[in-house]
Structure 1
Amino acid sequence: MAEQEIRSKMDKAIENLKRSFAGVRTGRANPGLVENVLVEVYGQKMALRTIAAINIPEHRIISITPYDKSSAQAIEKAISLSDLGLTPKNESGTVYVRLPELTQERRKELEKIAKGLAEECKIAVRNLRRDFLEDAKKSGASQDEVKGLQDKVQKITDEYNAKIEDLLKHKEAEINEI
């Protein structure tokens, strides 16, 4: 695994974290909040983004227009049963989700969720570092070469951990924004 390859894999971990953060609710409506909710339609579970258009008409409202109007009830049910704590409303085939004000208690819960997601990403980055170093040792590199690689990979790992912390701080600020 070359330095470029490990950076590429760590970038993927960061992108995954960004997608996960999009699903963590803030005070503002965001399509990422509901786009991965699984809806049972046509006898199978499908991500909401594949069966409906998701729009934000106002900063606290999500509008979901299914491509097939008959799936509106299934969308409403899936959002109600999700762990998002949202109450959808079906109005003539379009599902509206109004985001209520976040309580201080709910903000704390969301911060914990965001910290957990960030920690998972840090673990993924550390695992990539470990795998890289194990591959280097197996390739027959000398101890000096492995030590040099270890220092270089640790700097890269520290760089990505700093990116994760920055993303977490930004998300926490979003969650606490009133």
Structure 2
Amino acid sequence: MKLNEVESSMKKAVEATQRSFNTIRTGRANASLLDRVLVDYYGSETPLKSLANISTPDASTIAIQPYDKTSMGAIEKAISLSDIGLTPSNDGVTIRLNIPPLTSDRRQELVKLAAKYAEEGKVSVRNVRRDAVDSTRKQEKSHEISEDEARDLQDKIQNLTNKYTSKIDDLLTQKEEDITTI
């Protein structure tokens, strides 16, 4: 396994963690809350963002304007069934989601959820490290690379692992700050 492949895989793990963080509510309206919502549109699961224009007119409201007015009911149903915990209100043209202020208990739950997502991201990075180190050891055993080269490569892999786990920690710290700030 090449070092640039290892780094690329670790970057992807960090990006996936960031996307997971974006789905956590922070008390402010954010269109990325709806990124994981899939709508049953004519028999196929379709991402909400491809069916409607999503905007945030103010800090506590998300407005959804479907491109196809007939899909409004399906969009409302998908939002209601999703895990975001918001109730849609429909005025015939726009679906609105009012973001209530977070209670301190709910903030703590969201901080725990963010920590869980961060740990999953770190596990992904460590799995990439494990696979890369295993590959390096196999190359060493089959005499494709020397023992010194193998150690050097393993040190570089560990440095990449440290770099990307600290990036995840930084993202977590930032997200916790967003969640706990009122």
Output the TM-score relative to the length of structure 1: 0.95
Separation (CA, whole Å) in 1 of partners of 2:72 and 2:93: 6
SS across alignment from 2:50: helix
1:11-90 maps to which residues of 2 (within 5 A)? 11-90=11-90
Cα offset for 1:98?
0.6
Specify which of 149, 153, 177 is matched with residue 149 of structure 1.
153
> Using the alignment, how far apart are the partners of 1:48 and 1:109 within structure 2?
26
Alignment-mate amino acid for residue 175 of structure 2 = K
User: Corresponding residue for 1:177?
Assistant: 181
* Maintained 8 Å contact 1:35/1:54: no
Judge conservation of contact 2:114–2:175 (CA < 8 Å) in 1: yes
Number of equivalences: 178
Identity of aligned residues (%): 49
Residue 91 (str. 1) matches residue 91 (str. 2) = yes
Instruction: Give the whole-Å Cα distance in 2 for the aligned partners of 1:51 and 1:176.
Output: 32
* Preserved contact between residue 136 and residue 154 of structure 2 (Cα < 8 Å): no
Q: Which amino acid aligns with 2:36?
A: N
Structure 1 range deviating more: 120-129 or 27-36: 27-36
Quote the Cα distance in structure 1 between the aligned partners of 2:87 and 2:41: 20
The Cα RMSD (Å) is 1.2
1:161 aligns with 2:174: no
Q: Distance in 1 between matches of 2:173 and 2:111?
A: 10
**What is the alpha-carbon distance in structure 1 between the residues aligned to residue 83 and residue 108 of structure 2?**
16
Please give the secondary structure, in 1, of the residue aligned with 2:177: helix
Distance 1:135 1:83 in 2: 39
Note if contact 2:13-2:125 (Cα within 8 Å) is conserved in structure 1.
yes
TM-score by length of 2: 0.93
Structure 2 gap ranges (5+): none
For each residue in 1:96-131, what CA deviation from the matched residue of structure 2 results, as whole angstroms up to 9, or x when unmatched?
A: 001001011111111111111111110110011111
Residues 131-164 of structure 1 show CA distances to partners (whole Å, capped at 9, x for unaligned) of 1111112223333322222222111101111100
Amino acid at match of 2:121: C
In structure 2, the partner of 1:135 is 135
Runs of 5+ consecutive residues of structure 1 not aligned to the other structure: none
Deviation at 1:4, TM superposition (A): 1.8
Structure 2 contact 125–164 (Cα < 8 Å) conserved: yes
Letter in 2 for 1:57: P
